[in-house]
Amino acid sequence: MENQSMKWIFTTSHKPAKQQVLKAQHLATKYSGRYISRRHVGKYIDEKGFYFVVEKDMSLSAKWKGGSFFYHPSISKIKMKTYTKTGHDFLIESIAPSSDDKVLDLTMGLGSEALLIANFAKEVIGVEGAFPTYLVVKEGLKNYKYKENWMIKASKKIKIINNNYKNYIRLFKDNSIDIVYCDPMFENPNYKSSSLNPLRRFAVYDLLTQEDINEMVRISKKRVIIKARDIDSIWNRIKVEKKMGSKRSGIIFGVIEKK
Protein backbone atom coordinates (compact mmCIF):
# COMPACT_ATOMS: atom_id res chain seq x y z
CA MET A 1 0.00 0.00 0.00
CA GLU A 2 1.21 3.52 -0.69
CA ASN A 3 2.77 5.47 2.18
CA GLN A 4 -0.21 7.17 3.72
CA SER A 5 1.97 9.56 5.72
CA MET A 6 2.42 11.73 2.65
CA LYS A 7 -0.17 14.44 2.09
CA TRP A 8 -2.33 13.73 -0.91
CA ILE A 9 -3.66 16.99 -2.35
CA PHE A 10 -7.34 17.19 -3.24
CA THR A 11 -8.87 20.05 -5.17
CA THR A 12 -11.61 20.74 -7.73
CA SER A 13 -11.95 21.91 -11.30
CA HIS A 14 -12.00 25.64 -11.88
CA LYS A 15 -15.11 27.53 -10.71
CA PRO A 16 -16.42 24.57 -8.71
CA ALA A 17 -19.93 24.01 -7.41
CA LYS A 18 -20.35 23.69 -3.66
CA GLN A 19 -20.78 19.91 -3.82
CA GLN A 20 -17.41 19.57 -5.57
CA VAL A 21 -15.68 21.42 -2.76
CA LEU A 22 -17.47 19.34 -0.14
CA LYS A 23 -16.47 16.10 -1.84
CA ALA A 24 -12.83 17.19 -2.19
CA GLN A 25 -12.75 18.13 1.50
CA HIS A 26 -14.35 14.83 2.45
CA LEU A 27 -11.83 12.79 0.45
CA ALA A 28 -8.94 14.80 1.90
CA THR A 29 -10.13 14.00 5.40
CA LYS A 30 -10.86 10.36 4.66
CA TYR A 31 -7.46 9.68 3.10
CA SER A 32 -5.29 11.83 5.39
CA GLY A 33 -4.75 14.34 2.61
CA ARG A 34 -5.10 18.08 2.28
CA TYR A 35 -7.75 20.16 0.53
CA ILE A 36 -6.36 23.08 -1.51
CA SER A 37 -8.43 25.57 -3.48
CA ARG A 38 -7.85 25.11 -7.21
CA ARG A 39 -6.55 28.64 -7.67
CA HIS A 40 -3.81 27.97 -5.11
CA VAL A 41 -2.93 24.38 -5.94
CA GLY A 42 0.00 25.37 -8.15
CA LYS A 43 1.89 26.61 -5.10
CA TYR A 44 1.94 23.11 -3.63
CA ILE A 45 2.84 21.00 -6.67
CA ASP A 46 6.36 20.66 -8.06
CA GLU A 47 7.38 19.44 -11.51
CA LYS A 48 6.98 15.77 -10.52
CA GLY A 49 3.94 16.14 -8.31
CA PHE A 50 0.27 15.47 -8.97
CA TYR A 51 -3.07 16.18 -7.34
CA PHE A 52 -6.57 14.75 -7.24
CA VAL A 53 -9.37 16.75 -8.87
CA VAL A 54 -13.10 16.45 -8.22
CA GLU A 55 -14.53 17.26 -11.64
CA LYS A 56 -17.83 18.99 -12.41
CA ASP A 57 -19.55 15.63 -12.94
CA MET A 58 -18.28 14.60 -9.45
CA SER A 59 -15.81 12.08 -10.89
CA LEU A 60 -12.22 12.02 -9.65
CA SER A 61 -9.09 12.44 -11.74
CA ALA A 62 -5.38 12.70 -11.05
CA LYS A 63 -3.54 15.54 -12.79
CA TRP A 64 0.07 16.60 -13.21
CA LYS A 65 1.97 18.92 -15.48
CA GLY A 66 1.30 17.71 -19.00
CA GLY A 67 -0.97 14.82 -18.14
CA SER A 68 -3.99 13.37 -16.38
CA PHE A 69 -5.57 10.09 -15.43
CA PHE A 70 -9.31 9.47 -15.11
CA TYR A 71 -11.60 6.46 -14.94
CA HIS A 72 -13.22 5.08 -18.07
CA PRO A 73 -14.51 1.54 -18.73
CA SER A 74 -12.00 1.49 -21.58
CA ILE A 75 -12.20 -1.53 -23.88
CA SER A 76 -14.64 -3.55 -21.78
CA LYS A 77 -17.58 -2.33 -23.88
CA ILE A 78 -15.86 -3.34 -27.13
CA LYS A 79 -14.80 -6.72 -25.75
CA MET A 80 -18.31 -7.48 -24.52
CA LYS A 81 -19.80 -6.53 -27.88
CA THR A 82 -17.35 -8.85 -29.64
CA TYR A 83 -17.97 -11.67 -27.17
CA THR A 84 -21.75 -11.33 -27.53
CA LYS A 85 -21.40 -11.52 -31.31
CA THR A 86 -18.78 -14.28 -31.58
CA GLY A 87 -18.89 -16.10 -28.22
CA HIS A 88 -15.11 -15.76 -28.14
CA ASP A 89 -12.77 -13.84 -25.82
CA PHE A 90 -9.45 -15.18 -24.51
CA LEU A 91 -9.83 -13.47 -21.13
CA ILE A 92 -13.26 -14.97 -20.45
CA GLU A 93 -12.35 -18.35 -21.93
CA SER A 94 -9.21 -18.65 -19.81
CA ILE A 95 -10.88 -17.57 -16.56
CA ALA A 96 -14.12 -19.43 -17.36
CA PRO A 97 -16.09 -17.81 -14.53
CA SER A 98 -19.50 -19.11 -13.48
CA SER A 99 -22.29 -17.10 -11.89
CA ASP A 100 -21.40 -18.28 -8.37
CA ASP A 101 -17.62 -17.71 -8.62
CA LYS A 102 -15.60 -15.18 -6.66
CA VAL A 103 -12.67 -13.97 -8.74
CA LEU A 104 -9.56 -12.30 -7.33
CA ASP A 105 -8.10 -9.81 -9.82
CA LEU A 106 -4.67 -9.11 -8.36
CA THR A 107 -3.63 -6.32 -10.73
CA MET A 108 -6.78 -4.31 -11.32
CA GLY A 109 -5.38 -1.20 -13.01
CA LEU A 110 -8.13 0.60 -14.93
CA GLY A 111 -10.67 -2.05 -13.96
CA SER A 112 -11.86 -2.74 -17.50
CA GLU A 113 -11.10 -6.46 -17.26
CA ALA A 114 -12.61 -6.67 -13.78
CA LEU A 115 -15.78 -5.11 -15.17
CA LEU A 116 -15.95 -7.71 -17.94
CA ILE A 117 -15.25 -10.60 -15.55
CA ALA A 118 -17.86 -9.35 -13.07
CA ASN A 119 -20.54 -9.68 -15.73
CA PHE A 120 -20.06 -13.46 -15.61
CA ALA A 121 -19.05 -13.94 -11.94
CA LYS A 122 -20.71 -13.49 -8.58
CA GLU A 123 -18.06 -11.09 -7.29
CA VAL A 124 -14.68 -9.67 -8.25
CA ILE A 125 -12.15 -8.53 -5.67
CA GLY A 126 -9.79 -6.15 -7.43
CA VAL A 127 -6.39 -5.42 -5.90
CA GLU A 128 -4.48 -2.29 -6.88
CA GLY A 129 -1.11 -1.44 -5.35
CA ALA A 130 -0.86 2.18 -6.48
CA PHE A 131 -3.01 4.43 -4.28
CA PRO A 132 -3.71 7.08 -6.97
CA THR A 133 -4.95 4.43 -9.41
CA TYR A 134 -6.92 2.70 -6.65
CA LEU A 135 -8.74 5.88 -5.64
CA VAL A 136 -9.52 7.15 -9.14
CA VAL A 137 -10.86 3.75 -10.22
CA LYS A 138 -12.77 3.21 -6.97
CA GLU A 139 -14.55 6.54 -7.36
CA GLY A 140 -15.04 5.89 -11.06
CA LEU A 141 -16.69 2.51 -10.54
CA LYS A 142 -19.05 4.11 -8.07
CA ASN A 143 -19.92 7.29 -9.98
CA TYR A 144 -19.47 6.62 -13.70
CA LYS A 145 -22.64 7.11 -15.75
CA TYR A 146 -22.80 3.72 -17.46
CA LYS A 147 -25.19 3.42 -20.40
CA GLU A 148 -25.19 -0.38 -20.67
CA ASN A 149 -27.21 -2.38 -18.13
CA TRP A 150 -24.57 -5.09 -17.89
CA MET A 151 -21.98 -2.49 -16.86
CA ILE A 152 -24.26 -1.05 -14.19
CA LYS A 153 -24.79 -4.51 -12.68
CA ALA A 154 -21.16 -5.60 -13.07
CA SER A 155 -19.76 -2.45 -11.46
CA LYS A 156 -21.75 -3.18 -8.31
CA LYS A 157 -20.15 -6.62 -8.01
CA ILE A 158 -16.60 -5.26 -7.79
CA LYS A 159 -14.79 -4.62 -4.52
CA ILE A 160 -11.46 -2.82 -4.84
CA ILE A 161 -8.59 -3.12 -2.34
CA ASN A 162 -5.47 -0.95 -2.07
CA ASN A 163 -2.62 -3.35 -1.39
CA ASN A 164 0.39 -4.96 -3.03
CA TYR A 165 -0.82 -8.24 -4.49
CA LYS A 166 2.29 -10.08 -3.25
CA ASN A 167 1.27 -9.24 0.32
CA TYR A 168 -2.45 -9.63 -0.19
CA ILE A 169 -2.42 -13.21 -1.52
CA ARG A 170 -0.58 -14.34 1.59
CA LEU A 171 -3.50 -13.22 3.78
CA PHE A 172 -5.87 -15.82 2.30
CA LYS A 173 -6.50 -19.29 3.65
CA ASP A 174 -6.06 -22.34 1.43
CA ASN A 175 -8.79 -22.82 -1.21
CA SER A 176 -10.59 -19.65 -0.14
CA ILE A 177 -11.19 -18.00 -3.53
CA ASP A 178 -12.53 -19.65 -6.68
CA ILE A 179 -10.31 -18.10 -9.37
CA VAL A 180 -7.17 -15.94 -9.25
CA TYR A 181 -6.22 -13.67 -12.15
CA CYS A 182 -2.94 -11.75 -12.40
CA ASP A 183 -2.02 -9.29 -15.15
CA PRO A 184 1.31 -7.70 -14.12
CA MET A 185 2.78 -4.82 -16.10
CA PHE A 186 4.30 -6.15 -19.31
CA GLU A 187 8.08 -6.37 -19.54
CA ASN A 188 7.76 -5.24 -23.17
CA PRO A 189 4.88 -2.74 -23.11
CA ASN A 190 2.93 -1.41 -26.05
CA TYR A 191 3.32 2.35 -25.72
CA LYS A 192 0.68 2.89 -28.41
CA SER A 193 -1.97 2.08 -25.79
CA SER A 194 -3.40 5.54 -25.07
CA SER A 195 -5.59 4.23 -22.24
CA LEU A 196 -2.68 2.60 -20.39
CA ASN A 197 0.03 5.22 -20.88
CA PRO A 198 -1.19 7.61 -18.12
CA LEU A 199 -1.37 4.62 -15.76
CA ARG A 200 2.35 3.92 -16.15
CA ARG A 201 3.16 6.92 -13.92
CA PHE A 202 1.71 5.10 -10.91
CA ALA A 203 2.11 1.47 -11.95
CA VAL A 204 3.68 -1.20 -9.74
CA TYR A 205 6.40 -3.13 -11.59
CA ASP A 206 7.08 -5.93 -9.09
CA LEU A 207 8.43 -9.08 -10.73
CA LEU A 208 6.07 -12.04 -10.60
CA THR A 209 7.83 -15.14 -9.22
CA GLN A 210 7.08 -18.84 -9.06
CA GLU A 211 6.65 -18.42 -5.31
CA ASP A 212 3.86 -15.91 -6.00
CA ILE A 213 2.27 -18.38 -8.40
CA ASN A 214 2.43 -21.10 -5.74
CA GLU A 215 0.58 -18.81 -3.34
CA MET A 216 -2.09 -18.11 -5.94
CA VAL A 217 -2.56 -21.82 -6.53
CA ARG A 218 -2.72 -22.41 -2.78
CA ILE A 219 -5.60 -19.97 -2.22
CA SER A 220 -7.57 -20.87 -5.36
CA LYS A 221 -10.22 -23.56 -5.67
CA LYS A 222 -10.40 -23.82 -9.45
CA ARG A 223 -7.63 -22.14 -11.41
CA VAL A 224 -5.02 -19.40 -11.72
CA ILE A 225 -4.60 -17.30 -14.86
CA ILE A 226 -1.55 -15.22 -15.73
CA LYS A 227 -1.55 -12.66 -18.55
CA ALA A 228 1.62 -11.49 -20.30
CA ARG A 229 3.03 -10.87 -23.75
CA ASP A 230 4.41 -13.83 -25.64
CA ILE A 231 7.88 -12.24 -25.72
CA ASP A 232 8.05 -11.59 -21.96
CA SER A 233 10.53 -13.63 -19.94
CA ILE A 234 7.86 -14.58 -17.43
CA TRP A 235 7.12 -17.72 -19.46
CA ASN A 236 10.69 -18.86 -18.83
CA ARG A 237 10.32 -18.35 -15.08
CA ILE A 238 6.91 -19.80 -14.27
CA LYS A 239 5.10 -23.01 -15.11
CA VAL A 240 1.61 -23.08 -16.63
CA GLU A 241 -0.36 -26.03 -17.97
CA LYS A 242 -1.69 -24.38 -21.09
CA LYS A 243 -1.56 -21.10 -22.97
CA MET A 244 -4.16 -19.39 -25.07
CA GLY A 245 -4.11 -16.09 -26.84
CA SER A 246 -3.82 -14.18 -30.08
CA LYS A 247 -0.73 -14.41 -32.27
CA ARG A 248 -1.71 -11.07 -33.76
CA SER A 249 -1.75 -9.20 -30.45
CA GLY A 250 0.93 -11.31 -28.80
CA ILE A 251 -1.11 -11.42 -25.58
CA ILE A 252 -1.02 -14.79 -23.82
CA PHE A 253 -3.14 -16.17 -20.98
CA GLY A 254 -1.42 -18.94 -19.06
CA VAL A 255 -3.79 -21.26 -17.20
CA ILE A 256 -3.05 -23.42 -14.15
CA GLU A 257 -5.92 -25.72 -13.20
CA LYS A 258 -6.18 -26.61 -9.51
CA LYS A 259 -5.68 -30.32 -8.95
What are the CB-based long-range contacts (under 8 Å, 24+) for 246-253? Answer: 246/90, 251/90, 251/227, 252/227, 252/228, 253/90, 253/91, 253/94, 253/225, 253/226, 253/227
Instruction: Quote the CA–CA distance of 180 and 116 in Å, as a whole number.
Output: 15
Decide: helix, strand or coil at residue 223. Answer: strand
DSSP state of 183: -
Instruction: Quote the CA–CA distance of 181 and 253 in Å, as a whole number.
Output: 10
DSSP state of 105: E
Contact by Cβ (8 Å): 59, 70: yes
Decide: helix, strand or coil at residue 122. Answer: coil
Instruction: Quote the CA–CA distance of 221 and 217 in Å, as a whole number.
Output: 8
pLDDT of residue 167: 95
Contact by Cβ (8 Å): 129, 164: yes
CATH number for domain 76-257, candidates 3.40.50.150, 3.40.190.10, 3.10.129.10, 2.40.10.10 = 3.40.50.150
Cα of first residue to Cα of last residue in the chain, in angstroms, is: 32
Domain with CATH 3.40.50.150 in the chain: 76-257
What are the CB-based long-range contacts (under 8 Å, 24+) for 237-242? Answer: 237/208, 237/209, 237/210, 238/208, 238/209, 238/210, 238/213, 239/210, 239/213
Q: DSSP string covering 27-89, please?
A: HHHHTT-EE--GGGGGGG--TT-EEEEE-TTS-EEEEETTEEEE---TTHHHHHHHHHHHS--
Q: What is the pLDDT along the chain (259 residues), one digit of tens a residue?
A: 444 435 899 999 999 999 999 999 999 999 999 999 999 998 888 766 889 999 999 999 999 888 888 999 878 999 999 999 999 999 999 999 999 999 999 999 889 999 999 999 999 999 999 999 999 999 999 989 999 999 999 999 999 999 999 999 999 999 999 999 999 876 655 545 444 555 555 566 678 899 999 999 999 999 999 999 898 888 988 889 999 998 888 899 999 999 7
